[in-house]
């Protein structure tokens, strides 16, 4: 059994009339890459701020790395690294000095700070830029410096708030690879928030979908996909040559087929149980050829949109 590293219990934050976080129950296990997914304004950033003690909860409790987020806030901050959304740097200081300052705030001796700073700058590929003022940095470089800043305290858990926002595809990939590497090589637990489904799908092992401050669903990505396809039945995509309208009618008549639709030359057949063989028999009977046939996989996007719509309703 893996140990939970973040556990929230009915965590609630109310701003005026808005419930930014509403009775949130969330568990992140050690060693995971946990994705906090949700549309803008779902409460992702607020949740992270509450966990880091930058904001006080209205109600509820949470423990992070074994410490209460209110009473043990300082201890939490000692062992959790944060890359905040829209992280800022001291623009008139060099990358190295920025890092060393954060190191010193963690009570690290000067020599240790310098050592770790140069190691981390190497790791995030900024060694050549270590003596350059941050004002000259591109967005992607700043984000990599931010990751180094989160890591200088040698945390047990790192939280990245929208780590790839505003980056180009190459920059996004760099950050993603870095997160995966940290998790695999150092066994670091990562929690990241994003509104980009694709991003979460590529990086995370588990995901929690947040909407209007509430946790809608929390599971591993595979489980979610399985759960979803079970509810929706099986769906197969066919690409056909010489297809006729009679053929589609015949397929609709097959027992077990629930849905037939054709879009951009692709035939989509939904079925209650696997009747793929019957469908292909009918297709060949009408003299049409199957160019391509594949089961339709549900992406996180489908899952997300479904839950999102449910949330809206």
Partner 1 sequence: MAGSMTVFRKEMADQFGSKRFLILLGIIGLLSIISAYQGVEYLKNNPQRGFLAIFTGQGFGFSFIQLMVYFGPIIGLALGFDAINKERTSGTLSTVLSQPIFRDSVLNGKFLAGTVAVTTLTISTIGLMIGLAIPMLGFGPTIDGAFSIISLTLLTILYLAFWLSLGTLFSVLTKKTSTSMLASVGTWLTCVIVISILASLIANAMVPLPSFQGTFTNRTQGGGFNPEISTEYRALSEQRFTIQSSISKISPTNLYSEAASAILGMAQSRAGFGINNPSPTRTLTLSQGLAASWANIAAIAVGLVICFVASYTKFLRSEIRPGG
The residue among 72 and 233 lying less far from partner 1, judged by its C-beta, is 72
Residue 231 CB neighbour total at 10 angstroms: 9
The residue among 98 and 206 lying less far from partner 1, judged by its C-beta, is 98
Which span (2-10, 48-56, 171-179, 272-280) binds partner 1, by CB under 8 A? Answer: 48-56
Contact 85, 164 (CB under 8 A): no
Among 17, 74, 245, 264, binds partner 1 (CB under 8 A): 74
Based on the shown chain and the rule CB under 8 A, indicate whether residue 143 belongs to the binding site for partner 1: no
Among 34, 89, 129, 304, binds partner 1 (CB under 8 A): 89
Calculate ∠ Cα 89-93-96, nearest 5°. 90
Binding to partner 1, residues 196-215 (CB under 8 A): none
Task: Collect all residues with Cβ–Cβ distance below 8 Å to 239 and sequence separation of at least 6.
Answer: 265, 266, 267, 290, 291, 292, 293
The secondary element (H helix, E strand) that includes residue 291 is: strand 289-295
Binding to partner 1, residues 95-124 (CB under 8 A): 101-102, 104-107
CA distances from 213 to 83, 140, 178, 227 (A): 21, 29, 29, 23
Based on the shown chain and the rule CB under 8 A, indicate whether residue 227 belongs to the binding site for partner 1: no
Among 34, 36, 47, 55, binds partner 1 (CB under 8 A): 55
Among 153, 179, 193, 207, binds partner 1 (CB under 8 A): 153
Contact 266, 237 (CB under 8 A): yes
Based on the shown chain and the rule CB under 8 A, indicate whether residue 78 belongs to the binding site for partner 1: yes
Task: Collect all residues with Cβ–Cβ distance below 8 Å to 81 and sequence separation of at least 6.
Answer: 149, 150, 151, 152, 153, 155, 157, 158, 159
The footprint of partner 1 (CB under 8 A) covers 45, 49, 52-56, 74-75, 77-78, 80, 82, 84-91, 101-102, 104-107, 146, 149, 153, 161
């Amino acid at each position: 059994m893996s140990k939970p590293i973040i556990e929230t219990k009915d965590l609630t934050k109310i701003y005026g009339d808005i419930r930014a976080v509403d009775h949130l129950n969330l568990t992140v296990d050690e060693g995971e890459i946990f994705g906090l997914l949700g549309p803008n304004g779902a409460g992702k950033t607020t949740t992270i701020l509450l966990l880091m003690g930058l904001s006080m909860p209205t109600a509820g409790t949470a423990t992070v790395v074994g410490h209460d987020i209110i009473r043990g806030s300082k201890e939490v901050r000692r062992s959790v690294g944060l890359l905040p959304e829209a992280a800022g740097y001291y623009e008139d200081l060099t990358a190295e000095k920025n890092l060393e300052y954060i190191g010193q705030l963690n009570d690290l001796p000067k020599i240790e700070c310098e050592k770790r700073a140069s190691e981390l700058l190497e790791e995030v590929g900024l060694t050549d830029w270590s003596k350059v003022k941050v004002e000259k940095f591109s967005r992607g470089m700043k984000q990599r410096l931010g990751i180094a800043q989160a890591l200088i305290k040698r945390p047990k858990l790192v939280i990245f708030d929208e780590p790839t926002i505003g980056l180009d595809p190459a920059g996004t990939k760099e950050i993603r690879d870095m997160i995966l590497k940290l998790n695999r090589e150092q066994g670091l637990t990562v929690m990241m928030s994003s509104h980009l489904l694709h991003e979460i799908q590529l990086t995370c092992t588990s995901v929690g979908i947040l909407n209007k401050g509430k946790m809608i669903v929390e599971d591993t990505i595979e489980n979610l996909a399985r759960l979803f396809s079970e509810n929706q039945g099986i769906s197969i995509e066919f690409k056909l040559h010489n297809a006729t309208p009679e053929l589609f009618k015949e397929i609709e008549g097959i027992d077990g087929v629930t849905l037939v639709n054709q879009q951009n030359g692709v035939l989509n057949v939904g079925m209650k149980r696997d009747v793929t063989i019957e469908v292909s028999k009918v297709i060949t009977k009408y003299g049409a050829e199957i160019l391509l046939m594949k089961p339709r996989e549900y992406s996180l996007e489908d899952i997300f949109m479904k839950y999102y719509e449910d949330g809206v309703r």
